[in-house]
Homo-oligomer: A and B are copies of this chain.
Amino acid sequence: MALRFTTAGESHGPGLTAVVEGLPAGLSLTPEEIDRDLARRQLGHGRGGRMKIEKDRAEVTAGLRHGRTLGSPVAMQVVNLDFANWEERMSPWPVEAEIEEVHLPRPGHADLAGVQKFGFTDVRNVLERASARETAARVACGALARAYLRALGVEVRSHVLQIGTVRTTERESLSPESFEGVDDSPVRCLDPEASAAMVDEIDNARRANESLGGVFEVIAFGCVPGLGSYVSWDERLDGRLGQAIMSIQAMKGVSIGDGFAVAGKVG
């Protein structure tokens, strides 16, 4: 069967659930490689305060036995360590207490569309799911996909190219080894000078109570030819990658290879 994943969970609810179906049987996994990716998600200069209280861990409850996949769906739980402080507001079941509603939709989120779509008066009913917190479940799924790819000789790496107006100078050639120190940069940028400038720009933006956009690059090394297929539109790899990236909260664009840069070049 095709690889597919399902996520569930609200930002301040009991926890996140992730299910990955279609992994082959016999794939070796360690808790470290899942939790490492969850920890990497929590890195980054100027992240929200919540990132500090959390130390996300994925508890595997299905599909794995003695460190090897069974070929059955792999289920993971990322417990909300802060749920005690949210139990009344986010209890699945009715509570005695009077719960204060949220009535201010956040700009740039699905909040307004969501309350209109579902007829809610409490914006919290939307923002709890339309939240970047959901990406923690995706990261756990991605760690399994990464282990699968590694078993096939494919290594995936990423780094930040731009934050605000600061852009790194393109690197001539990159190999998996080039990324060894990338997590030491508070903005996951390979260029120390650009990294420092990005940190400054983030600090300035924060003081102005603003936030910044950016650009990152993901590279798959050792990729085998023939992934995806040109025969049907929904099997095309570029389209699959496009959906995967654009379905992530706050993503506004994706390009492959030279992407937009090539538009201006004589090919």
- A: which residues have CB within 8 A of B? 1-2, 5-10, 13-17, 19, 21, 25-26, 30-31, 59-67, 70-75, 77, 90-95, 99, 110, 112-114, 116-120, 125-126, 128-130, 134, 138, 162, 164-165, 167, 205, 208, 210-215, 225-226, 229-236, 238-247, 251-260, 262-267
User: Which of chain B's residues have a CB closer than 8 A to the CB of A233?
Assistant: 5, 7, 134, 138, 247
Of all chain B residues, the one with the shortest Cβ separation from A213 is: B263
Taking the nearest CB of chain B, how far is it from the CB of A101, in angstroms?
11
Q: A116-B226, A138-B233 are in contact. List 16 more A-B contacts (CB 8 A).
A: A6-B232, A7-B73, A8-B62, A10-B72, A17-B77, A19-B19, A67-B94, A71-B231, A113-B230, A162-B263, A162-B264, A164-B265, A239-B247, A242-B242, A253-B256, A260-B260
Bound Cα distance A165, B259 (Å): 15
The answer to whether B26 touches A6 (Cβ under 8 A) is no
The answer to whether B162 touches A73 (Cβ under 8 A) is no
Known interface pairs A225-B117, A266-B210; A239-B230 also in contact (CB < 8 Å): no
Known interface pairs A210-B267, A243-B242, A254-B253; A129-B70 also in contact (CB < 8 Å): yes
The answer to whether A266 touches B208 (Cβ under 8 A) is yes
User: Which of chain B's residues have a CB closer than 8 A to the CB of A15?
Assistant: 61-62
Known interface pairs A60-B92, A73-B8; A247-B234 also in contact (CB < 8 Å): yes
Bound Cα distance A71, B261 (Å): 33
The answer to whether A10 touches B242 (Cβ under 8 A) is no
The answer to whether A65 touches B77 (Cβ under 8 A) is no
The answer to whether B75 touches A1 (Cβ under 8 A) is no
Bound Cα distance A118, B263 (Å): 31
Taking the nearest CB of chain B, how far is it from the CB of A74, in angstroms?
7
Taking the nearest CB of chain B, how far is it from the CB of A25, in angstroms?
4
The answer to whether B26 touches A118 (Cβ under 8 A) is yes
Known interface pairs A6-B6, A61-B77, A266-B208; A234-B230 also in contact (CB < 8 Å): no
| A64 interface neighbour in B6, B92, B240, B259, Cβ under 8 Å | B92
Known interface pairs A66-B99, A91-B65; A229-B1 also in contact (CB < 8 Å): yes
The answer to whether A14 touches B257 (Cβ under 8 A) is no
User: Which of chain B's residues have a CB closer than 8 A to the CB of A265?
Assistant: 164, 213
Bound Cα distance A1, B236 (Å): 11
